[in-house]
Amino acid sequence: MSKLSFAYYPGCSLESSAKEYDVSTRKVADILKVELIEIPDWSCCGASPAHTVDHLFASAVAARNLAIVEEMGRDTLVTPCPECLSAFKKAIYNMSKDDGFKKKVNSLLDKPFNLNVEAKSFLQILYEDVGKENISKKVIKPLIGVNIVPYYGCLLTRPPDVAQFDDPENPISMDTILETIGANVPYFSYKLECCGAAYGVTKRRIVTKLSGDILKTAIESGADAVAVACPLCQQNLDLRQDQINRDQGFDFHIPILYITQLMGLSFGLSASELMIDKHNVKSDHFLEKIEKGLKEKEKSEKESISSKN
């Protein structure tokens, strides 16, 4: 595999409330020899507020960053955040579909964006460019004995025309990675149901209902933890888990971990290196279960070796 190298867009959340995601992404990338070069002086992608104002405006806010990537001489922008990804992909999609639109967007910008950059999620890089063979080579502490359900959220694969990644109704990229790092992945029917998105602040009840349904289904599936790839999903499911319990009358304590954190664990990084301790819901029990699983595996391997001799 030739060395992979991309322009990296962390996004606003990954700078603050979702620092864990940024840190674990960079560490995992490092181990997998994926070079991530942070886009100099990147600005906010505009997220969902921008497109409620105007699509031209929203595309321009996103495209400022794409133009910088062009200037860097790179052809791919990689971001871990699906919300940012969606903003970039839609800008590229709309601009390439309609030349007039493209011109208008560029008239709002200091430096024009000439459509020479595509946007990908870091998950897509892991799944398609790095591949499960290369991931499995780095696994030294497989996550034996734990059930993890992957929660994709809305925007990673939808709408399919724009996202162009994985299956829009039954995505398997995270499933595959989780299996590759040794976890057991039970059937999970809420992979794609919306968590309530950005309405946490303004419409808390909506979020605690939707996120509550997701947690409930995850637990019914026998999950010990939920894997996520989105800072907003993480926030809704983890930070707001107590609000969910209060509003919905549940008593859930299920860790919500970034897929990159789980990979990092399997690559032998410590929980604190991966900032797992920075989450709201404690992962201690989950981590213990992994250790136990590992020990049991070692024991049974030893036994089988000695019985062979």
In angstroms, what is the minimal distance from the CB of 267 to other proteins?
Answer: 23
Residues shown for the chain: 309
Minimum distance, C-beta of residue 188 to other proteins, in the bound complex (Å): 9
> Which chain residues interact with other proteins by CB under 8 A?
12-13, 15-20, 41-44, 46-57, 60-61, 64, 104, 107-111, 154-155, 158-160, 167-170, 187, 189, 192-194, 196-204, 206, 209-210, 217, 220, 239-240, 242-243, 278, 280
Helix (H) / strand (E) element for 64: namely helix 55-72
Minimum CB separation of residue 293 from other proteins in Å reads 26
**Shortest separation between residue 159's beta carbon and other proteins, angstroms:** 4
Q: How far is the CB of 15 from other proteins (least distance, A)?
A: 7
Q: What tokens were used for 24?
A: 């674990």
Of 160 and 268, which CB lies nearer to other proteins in the complex structure?
160
| 159 cis-preceded (ω within 30 degrees of 0) | yes
For the bound state, the minimum distance from the C-beta of residue 65 to other proteins, rounded and expressed in Å, comes to 10
Based on CB atoms, which residue is closest to other proteins, 94 or 266? 94
Dihedral sign from CA coordinates of 300, 301, 304, 309:
negative
Listed residue (3, 115, 35) closest to 70, CA to CA: 115
Integer CA distances (angstroms), 83 to 54, 111, 233, in order: 17, 23, 10
Nearer to other proteins, 55 or 297 (CB): 55
Nearer to other proteins, 61 or 257 (CB): 61
Write down the least CB distance from residue 22 to other proteins, Å.
10
Tell me the CA distances in angstroms from 230 to 141, 150, 183, 198, 288, one per residue in order. Answer: 24, 11, 20, 12, 25
DSSP 267: T
Secondary element (H or E) of residue 71: helix 55-72
Residue 275 CA to residue 103 CA, distance in Å, equals: 43
Q: DSSP readout, 137-181?
A: HH-SS--TT-BEEEE--SSSS-SHHHH-SS-SSS--HHHHHHHHT
What is the DSSP secondary structure assignment for residue 283, as one 8-state letter?
-
Helix H or strand E encompassing 225: strand 225-228
Tokens 């991530």 -> residue: 36
Shortest distance in whole angstroms from residue 154 CB to other proteins: 4
